[in-house]
Structure 1
Amino acid sequence: MRILLVEDEDKTADYLAAGLEESGFRVEVARHGLDGRHLIEEAEFDLVILDVMLPGLDGWELLRLIRRQSQVPVLFLSARDDVEYRVKGLDLGADDYLVKPFSFVELLARVRSLLRRGPLRARESFRVADLHMDVLRRRVTRGEARIALTNQEFALLQLLLDREGEVLSRPFIASQVWGMNFESDTNVVEVAVRRLRAKVDDPFSRKLIHTERGMGYVLEARA
């Protein structure tokens, strides 16, 4: 899974990046607020770890930017333990707030918790091309055709619709749909996607679920 770390303290950035990479994550590091903004606008991440005090553009502004375009989990780092700082961060849309100094073990636990959570946006329905999902009635249709899905298939399709246009990695899908981390060599996600496609895509000429080789899956209406 891919993490963006925006931290201007070199020693802290190097230490956290090395630890996260040793724990199996891919990490991009930005040491300036404007560099962080560029990466946020140009790439997709599964999690953002964001320092509050940054040169060029502070963490508050970066969080506002993130929330205008994404619901990616954000973990705030700050040397300030003031209640108003915590409240401001959470009000702006941060998912967690960790005060410096902290132990790497605690940060890693919070990272894993946020990646397991990755909450869906509150939506009652979704529509992409002729595919429609009514979440409250648990009803899925393509055009006039009703599609019967198992609970697992419904959850997988809801995740893909909620993240329409985003390439979702297999580990991320596994953590969201099954609530646990699977080993990278398991084929449970591939099997689930194949079964979902058999119902949602195969009977129809226009395909909506696409494979991005080496990356994962994305649901979108392509020309």
Structure 2
Amino acid sequence: MRTTGAKDSVSILLIEDDEVIGRHVEAGLRSHGYAVTWTRTGGSGLAEADRSPIDVVLLDLGLPDMDGIDVARQLRDEHPDVLILILTARSEEIDVIVGLDAGADDYLVKPFSLTVLLARLRAHLRRRPPAPAGPGEPVRIGDLTVDIAARRCLLGEREVELRPKEFDLLAILVRHPGEAVSRELLMAEVWDENWFGPTKTLDVTMSSLRRRLQVAASAAHAPVALPAFTTLRGHGYRLDPPRPLDGN
């Protein structure tokens, strides 16, 4: 899946045969900065998903050429990372269960408001980690190198041993250098959105991560440029580039 950090980088495929609903949803999504492709049949939707990269599929079940459930299953099999939201008039509990079992991530019953659809989209996209800068490419900030694929952290030439959650926390922050990352996103990505424990766990893990990196910096044979982990009270954390070693 491509990066979902900004709306204009999110590609949405709308598969909806109703002209009024299709135009309303397409116009509403475009007005909020999303890139939208609208198709009116299951076959054309599947072809479009194969032709160009898609992040999100908004799928009607009552299509003229094939059942939307079959479309959802095929999309899930062929594009496992795509986010699938079903839009349908079928409101029975069994229909919801069948849709989710077919691979959908969420289910909206018609009629629905554009406001609710946008809120569901934002919620799902927040939980998806951004794509790395390149396939298998380590991220380097100052003298800190994080190889996410290999789960390795180096400060200069020295490898720093991190606990799993410490590494997961660091991996998210290095993907967003200089950006404020909320506590909610960090908790959802590192522990998962169903975590019911204290959020103080995040602060303890951050404190431990800082300490391990500072100990490694102190043990280095030459000065190293270590990024700063800035606490944003009431929001979360930000990873800032290191200051010049000469203090200028």
Residue 40 (str. 1) matches residue 49 (str. 2): yes
User: Which residues of structure 2 form unaligned runs of 5+?
Assistant: 1-9, 138-146, 187-248
Alignment of 1:13-24 (within 5 A): 13-24=22-33
Normalized against structure 2, the TM-score is what? 0.52
Aligned to 1:154: 171
- CA contact under 8 A between 2:148 and 2:171: conserved in structure 1? no
Aligned AA (1:113): A
Q: Does 1:9 align with 2:23?
A: no
Residues 173 and 181 in structure 2, CA contact (< 8 A), matched pair in contact too = no
**Compared CA separation, residues 148 and 29, structure 1 to 2 (3 A):** farther
CA distance in 1, matches of 2:74, 2:88: 19
Aligned residues: 156
Find the partner of 1:87 among 89, 93, 97. Answer: 97
Q: Give 3-state SS (helix, strand or coil) of 1:179's partner.
A: helix
Alignment partner, residue 128 of structure 2: 118
Match of 1:26 among 21, 31, 35: 35
**Corresponding residue to 1:74 among 61, 77, 84:** 84
TM-score by length of 1: 0.58
Match of 1:104 among 94, 110, 114: 114
Instruction: Describe the superposition over 1:12-66 as per-residue Cα deviations: whole angstroms up to 9, x where unpaired.
Output: 0000000010011111101111110101111112211000111223211211111
> In the alignment, what sits opposite 2:185?
179
CA distance 1:132–1:99, change in 2 (3 Å): closer
Q: Distance in 1 between matches of 2:129 and 2:99?
A: 18
2:67 paired with 1:58: yes
Q: Which runs of 5+ in 1 are unaligned?
A: 121-126, 160-169, 181-223
Q: Look up the equivalent residue of 2:52 and give its one-letter code.
A: A
The 3 A distance-change label for structure 1 pair 128 and 109 is closer
CA distance in 2, matches of 1:175, 1:36: 35
Mark the structure with the bigger radius of gyration. 2
